[in-house]
Amino acid sequence: MLSSQVRAIVKSTVPLLETGGEALTTHFYKMMLTEYPQVRPLFNQAHQASGDQARALANGVLMYARHIDQLEVLGPLVSRIVAKHVALQILPEHYPIVGDCLLRSIREVLGEDIATDEVIDAWAQAYELLAGLLIGSEEEVYAASAEAPGGWRGARGFIVERKVAESEEITSFHLVPEDGGAVLDFAPGQFIGLRLDIDGEEARRNYSLSAAANGRSYRISVKREPGGKVSNFLHDRVGEGDRIELFAPAGDFILRPGRKPLVLITAGVGITPALAMLEVAQHSDRPIHFIHCARNGAVHAFRDWVENIAAQRQNFRHFVCYSEPSQSDRADATGFLTLERLSGWLPAERDLDAYFLGPKPFMAQVKKHLKTLGVPDGQCHYEFFGPASALDS
């Protein structure tokens, strides 16, 4: 445990982190990725270039400093961090690297007059405590995944059994284990980590599992991102019969059991985890509303599959909104998902469970709309495809 003096010193840096946290974490990443190239595969360089990764870390460091007296408040944040770390296989040996660069960045960005030896020592103790918590939590997940039926630890070889174009932008990869064994079960909504060799350079990415667990294979559905190193490699250079390596499923954005009406709200490739949720939920007796937004029909993946469920199941409503429809497109609405439109598509009873995923501006708007429409905050669930950040509402 940290002493009261150490906690007080860490909390005293909160105002500095509020104004200069992003500069600090930007400096941190530049230092770490330059001096420790072995950790570069753990980070999406597009998120580095956009600043999203630095902003997410700055927010995490700030939250830790603010709540250093009440670490239990950070439970949801820690769970998200652990899930992302597990999917990318962050290991104990990575933490001293992060600690070294973080402490040096604090000293170099804040300056020796502010980042005194006392401040650096306090932050060193605070980081050691946090690292210990994360390492312990991550090891619990690694051990559980290894011991479960079909589970494993570290990387496991998989073969692309099928590659299916789902739209002009999204392609699915059906993956079976190279060893012919069973695969670990997972909760709908979770993701899986990939380790790839791209022209001699290692790259790791997380992708949502887009079909429910079946014990023998996994499916991911990948959107081709303009300039995306990994997505373009998968689309253009990975084919049926090729081998890739996977880390065990992880993630805390999962479909929770319940009997309340279920509303799945997605945009673009955000549909992928909702597909696994729908595949499982369709066998329950709860009402389901599935709302999907896309630019047009050409990029709308899995529409036929969802409509097939809608045709066979009672208490299921399916709505489609296209922002840039073509002349031949069929949609329930055009433009964006406005408050009025969402209000008409939700169940009349607002005591419901809502899961939503898509681009950050879309999620921020949906979160705001759900709050305005009276859906309880604790029943609104969302996930980020990249580094987590705050959704303004």
Q: Is 64 a catalytic residue?
A: no
DSSP of 75-140: HHHHHHHHHHHHHHT--GGGHHHHHHHHHHHHHHHH-TTTS-HHHHHHHHHHHHHHHHHHHHHHHH
Contact between 155 and 41 under an 8 Å Cβ cutoff? The reply is: no
Tokens linked to 50: 């956009």
Ligand-binding annotation for 273, yes or no, is yes
Ligand-binding annotation for 243, yes or no, is no
DSSP of 254-322: -PPP-SS-EEEEEEGGGHHHHHHHHHHHTTSSS-EEEEEEES-GGG--SHHHHHHHHHH-SSEEEEEEE
Ligand-binding annotation for 25, yes or no, is no
Ligand-binding annotation for 268, yes or no, is yes
For 345, phi then psi, to 5°, come to -95, -15
Q: Is 72 a catalytic residue?
A: no
Ligand-binding annotation for 20, yes or no, is no
Order across the sheet with 170-177: list the strands: 201-208, 191-198, 243-250, 156-165, 170-177, 218-223
Ligand-binding annotation for 386, yes or no, is yes
Output the CA–CA distances (angstroms, integers) from residue 300 to 20, 86, 167, 269, 306, in the order listed.
Answer: 41, 31, 6, 9, 11
DSSP of 250-273: E-S--PPP-SS-EEEEEEGGGHHH
Q: CA 326: distance to chain centroid?
A: 31
Ligand-binding annotation for 271, yes or no, is yes
Kindly name the residue from 64, 127, 138, 322 that is annotated as catalytic.
138
Cα separation, 393 vs 380, whole angstroms: 13
Neighbour-count burial of 346, counting CB atoms closer than 10 A to its CB (0-12 exposed, 13-18 middle, 19+ buried): buried
Ligand-binding annotation for 237, yes or no, is no
Tokens linked to 253: 């954005």
Output the CA–CA distances (angstroms, integers) from residue 140 to 128, 143, 145, 247, in the order listed.
Answer: 18, 5, 9, 15
Ligand-binding annotation for 85, yes or no, is yes
DSSP of 166-202: -SSSEEEEEEEETT--------TT-EEEEEEEETTEE
Ligand-binding annotation for 387, yes or no, is yes
- Give residue for tokens 């009276």: 374
Other CB atoms within 10 A of residue 54 CB: 22
Ligand-binding annotation for 385, yes or no, is yes
Kindly name the residue from 95, 168, 225, 245 that is annotated as catalytic.
95
Binding site members for heme b: 85
Q: Which residues are known to be catalytic?
A: 95, 138
Binding site members for NADP(+): 268-273
Binding site members: 85, 205-208, 268-273, 384-387
Binding site members for FAD: 205-208, 384-387
